[in-house]
Structure 1
Amino acid sequence: MTLVDPAGTVRIVLADDHTLFRAGIREMLLTVEGFDVVGEASTGDGAVLHAVRYSPDVLLLDVEMPGLAADEVIRQVRRRCPQTRIVVLTMHHDPAVMHQLLDCGAAAFLSKTSLRIELVAAVRAVAADAEAVLLAVPRASVRRPEPLAGTARRTPLTDRETDVLRLIAQAFSNGQIATRLHISEATVKRHLTNIYAKLGAVSRVDAIRKAQTARLIDPAEGAGP
């Protein structure tokens, strides 16, 4: 099914908490004939609000932002703005995350290292075809991950969640973790929430113990910095 007339304007909302990256993408998109950036957001909640406010053809969505997690952003946007197609941009290529977001309704999953021509092509394709699903990620990311041993419902930790958990095991605070990983403290807290849910943990110590038992992190980790 066609969504946007090939000769029409593709209206885009950008959602990324890194101001310089967002500005660079905006400037690049505005050089493309037929593209119009109608709104920008720096949080998950803002992404939903801008999607509802502007009803864009395409939402370019960063995976790691403060506020609502990417999967919830996608669910809400798909429910409230079904005409908006969502292109996920990320530096991480964890298969579990990719398949989770595609299952939630993302139309494309691209690495932030993708070429300009790849991003432009993806935006055009998903805006023009409601059935299009595009991937520009390493081949390994396409494989669906196996569930953790002993449960069919839990999913493996993402690369970034594993990074956070390793630093937790070394007794770093949320603020120290945010500084080391160049993310916000709110994002660290969101990762912790996801870690607890995936591992069935109720505390940092419990999460470390369960991750070590499942060999998600080295048992030697946990002695402190």
Structure 2
Amino acid sequence: MDTADDRRGALIAMISVLVIDDHNMLRGALCEILDQASDITVIGEAADGRAGVERAELLRPDVVILDVEIPGDDVVQTLRKIQQASPESRVLIVSMHQDMSLIRELVEHGIAGYLHKSARLETLLSAIRTADGDGEVIVYVSWQEDRRARADSRSESPDQALTARELEIVELVASAMSNRQIANALGITEGTVKRHLRNIFRKLGAVSRLDTVKRATAAKLIGPYSPE
């Protein structure tokens, strides 16, 4: 039989979420879906940046789901205001856009993750559940969902998202830096670079550093690649 303490503990374990998206139908559907998760509760929603900031300050959610294109300030300004209004909240961007320069800028401003709207529900739930952890920022773009679907059809393990660190390493590989140079540039060990590269190879389906760069370029993860 559950005690009052057990019930209070269950409530404490719930992840509170605020959804900010100007598409009323999509926002409503997302809120309904999230509320069906046993450990997630939607405590508020907003259709524009100003209202989103006000609700974040009032409700202090664990996680804020923020679309890129909403009425009001641009997404970076809105992000900053949310962080000021509710410093403990972690912001998860969910958008149809996958401009890598914007994603990198948002990562630098402290987002918990960036998911393309083609991502599966399981991917979103996982991102929400890990948003307040100390792990690396998760970046999930549409090409990964396509590859995941193909992997599922072959009964293979689905691809995982590239992390912000892995994206950074791909860019450095594209600039012809060696593992040692990458390690020095990022302040990590050469062994850690090799571990990241193994993960990157697996996720992109690449067989070499050059193949990694070509695949990342084709997927628009990095800028155009011009082999010497």
User: For this structure pair, what is the TM-score category when the shorter chain's length is used for normalisation?
Assistant: 0.5 to 0.7
* Aligned residue number for residue 111 of structure 1: 116
Deviates more, 1:75-84 or 1:42-51: 75-84
Within 5 A, what are the aligned runs for 1:8-47?
Answer: 8-47=13-52
1:154-165 matched pairs, under 5 angstroms: none
- The amino acid across from 2:51 in the alignment is G
- Cα deviation for residue 44 of structure 1 reads 1.1
Could you tell me how far 1:98 is from its partner in structure 2?
0.5
The one-letter code matched in structure 2 to 1:134 is I
Quote how far apart the aligned CAs of 1:132 are: 4.1
Count of residue pairs brought into register by the alignment: 142
Q: Map 1:1-225 onto structure 2 (within 5 A).
A: 8-127=13-132, 129-137=133-141, 138=143, 142=167
**Structure 1 residue 136: Cα displacement:** 1.2
Contact 1:88 1:109 in 2 (8 A): yes
Change (3 A) 1:44 1:25: same
Shift of 1:79: 2.3
Question: How many Å apart are 1:69 and its aligned residue?
Answer: 1.2
String of CA shifts for 1:150-208, please: whole Å, max 9, x gaps: xxxxxxxxxxxxxxxxxxxxxxxxxxxxxxxxxxxxxxxxxxxxxxxxxxxxxxxxxxx
- Distance across 2 between alignment mates of 1:10 and 1:116: 16
Q: How many angstroms apart in 2 are the aligned matches of 1:51 and 1:132?
A: 23
CA distance in 2 between partners of 1:80 and 1:63 (Å): 18
- Deviation of the 1:35 alpha carbon: 0.8
What's the offset of the Cα at 1:47? Answer: 1.4
TM, length-normalised to structure 1: 0.58
Identity between Structure 1 and Structure 2 (%): 27
How far residue 6 of structure 1 moved from its aligned partner, in angstroms, is: 10
Distance in 2 (CA, whole Å) between partners of 1:91 and 1:65 is 12
Q: Distance in 2 between matches of 1:80 and 1:65?
A: 18
- Structure ranking higher on relative contact order (CA contacts 8 Å, 6+ apart): 1
Q: Distance in 2 between matches of 1:49 and 1:113?
A: 28
The code of the aligned residue for 2:92 comes to: V
Higher helix share: 2
SS in 1 for 2:131: helix
**Contact preservation (8 Å) 1:126, 1:132:** no
In the alignment, the residues of structure 1 paired with residue 66 and residue 136 of structure 2 have an alpha-carbon distance, to the nearest angstrom, of 17
CA RMSD of aligned residues (A): 2.6
Residues of 2 paired with 1:92 and 1:75: CA distance?
19
Question: Structure 1's 39 and 106: CA in aligned 2 closer, same or farther, altered over 3 A?
Answer: same
Aligned partners of 1:117 and 1:21: how far apart in 2? 17
Question: Which letter maps to 1:110?
Answer: L
Q: Classify 1:69/1:6 alpha carbon distance in 2 versus 1 (closer, same or farther; 3 Å).
A: same
